[in-house]
Amino acid sequence: MDFLQPTSWDEALAAKAERPEALPIAGGTDVMVELNFDAHRPDALLDLTRVPELAQWAAENGRIRLGAGISYTRVIDELGDRLPGLAMAARTVGSPQIRNRGTVGGNLGAASPAGDCHPPLLATGAEVEVASVRGARTIPAADFYTGVKRNALAPDELIAAILIPPAAGPQQFSKIGTRNAMVIAVASFCIALDPVGRTVGTGIGSAAPTPRRAAAAELFLAGALDEDGLWESRADLPAAMVREFGEKVKAAADPIDDVRGTAAYRRHGLAVMARRTLTWAWNSYQNSASPGGRPPGTPRGG
Ligand SMILES: Cc1cc2nc3c(=O)[nH]c(=O)nc-3n(C[C@H](O)[C@H](O)[C@H](O)COP(=O)(O)OP(=O)(O)OC[C@H]3O[C@@H](n4cnc5c(N)ncnc54)[C@H](O)[C@@H]3O)c2cc1C
C-alpha cells in the first residue's frame, strides 16, 4: 500500500488528482478500524495530518470556517460558545482518545447515518466546502449525504472545511445509546433556535438512510412561535405545540430495525428527544437576556 504524505493543501489536492483511488486519512478512527478488520484494502492512503490548512478555523463572512482536520476536543475547547450544538454532539463522541484524534471532516467523509456531527450541521444550515485541482465548491450539509455511508464528493475532491453560522440562539443535542459513553447513536436529534431570523433548525441522526432535517417540524414550530408572539413574549410553550413538534419530527424519520434498536423505538425516541431538546432550548431562551430589553416572560405588548 502506498502512503502519500502531502505537507500543504495544494500538494494534497495534486495527490488526490493524480491518485483519485487514494483513501484520505485524518484521525484514522474510522479508517484504521476498517484496515484492521481487513474490510477495505486501498492501494494508497493519503495522510492529511501534515496539511496545516486543515487544522485551522477562523470567523469568515459571518460564519465559522472550520478546517476539516479539527478534532472534537478542539471544537469543545475552542468553539463551545459559538457552535454549542456541534460542541454538545462532540462531547458525546467516543472517548477522550477518539475525541482527540477524530475530526469533523472525518465524520463527513465517513457519512455514517449515525455520525454525531450531522444533526448539528443540518440544524444550523452548515455548508461543506470541498475542493480539487479543478476548484472549490460548497455543498449544503442537507445535500452532502447521498446514501448510507455515501457523500457528494467526487473522486478527486477533498473536504476542505465546514462553514457554520455561529449560534444566534439556543441549540441542543440529544443522543440515545445503550450506555452513556463509547456508543454509536441509536437515534439522535439537534435543534437550533434563531430568535433573530425567527427560524427553527433540526437534524435527525441514525433514523434514516442518511442524516436529515425534519422540514415540516421546523416550519410548523417557527410558524406557531410567530403566530402566538412567543419569540417576543418568551412565555411558556403550550404543551400541545411541543407535542405536535415531537410528532412532526417523528414523522420525518425513516428508520430500520437493526442490532442497535427497532424502527419503532427510534421513532418513539425521536419524538421524546424533540420535545426535550425544544423544552431545554426554550428554557434557555426564556432565561437569556432579551435583545430588545424586554424582561424575559413579559407578554407581548406588556
Ligand atoms: C472506539 C470508537 C468510538 C467512536 N465513537 C463515535 C461516536 O460516538 N460518534 C461518532 O459520530 N463517531 C464515532 N466513531 C467514529 C469516528 O471516530 C468518527 O467518524 C470520526 O469523526 C472520524 O474522524 P477521523 O478524522 O478519525 O476520520 P478518518 O478515519 O481519518 O476518516 C474517515 C473517513 O473520512 C474520509 N476523510 C477524512 N478526512 C477527509 C477529508 N479532508 N476529505 C475527504 N475525505 C476525508 C476518509 O477517507 C474516511 O473515509 C468512533 C470510532 C471509534 C473507533
**How confident is the chain (302 residues) per 10-residue block, as mean pLDDT?**
98 98 98 93 97 98 98 98 98 98 98 98 98 98 97 98 98 95 95 98 98 98 98 98 98 96 98 98 90 42 30
109 Cβ below 6 A of ligand 1: yes
Distance 262 CA to ligand 1 centre (A): 25
Identify whether the C-beta of residue 25 lies closer than 8 Å to the C-beta of residue 69: no
6 Cβ below 6 A of ligand 1: no
pLDDT at 39: 86
212 Cβ below 6 A of ligand 1: no
158 Cβ below 6 A of ligand 1: yes
pLDDT at 290: 60
| Residues facing 241 on adjacent strands | none
| Residues facing 166 on adjacent strands | none
Alpha carbon nearest to ligand 1 atom 12, residue = 115
Alpha carbon nearest to ligand 1 atom 47, residue = 24
pLDDT at 297: 40
107 Cβ below 6 A of ligand 1: yes
Mutate to test the pocket of ligand 1, among 9, 11, 25, 45 (most ligand atoms within 8 A of CB): 25
Tell me the whole-structure pTM to 2 decimals.
0.96
Identify whether the C-beta of residue 164 lies closer than 8 Å to the C-beta of residue 64: yes
Mutate to test the pocket of ligand 1, among 30, 74, 93 (most ligand atoms within 8 A of CB): 30
Q: Are strands 2-4 and 44-47 parallel, antiparallel or unpaired?
A: parallel
Identify whether the C-beta of residue 86 lies closer than 8 Å to the C-beta of residue 57: no
Q: What are φ and ψ of residue 254, in 5° steps?
A: -140, 65
Identify whether the C-beta of residue 15 lies closer than 8 Å to the C-beta of residue 4: yes
Distance 70 CA to ligand 1 centre (A): 11
* Cα(248)–Cα(214) distance, integer angstroms: 7
Nearest atom (ligand 1) to Cα of 98: 17
Nearest atom (ligand 1) to Cα of 32: 29
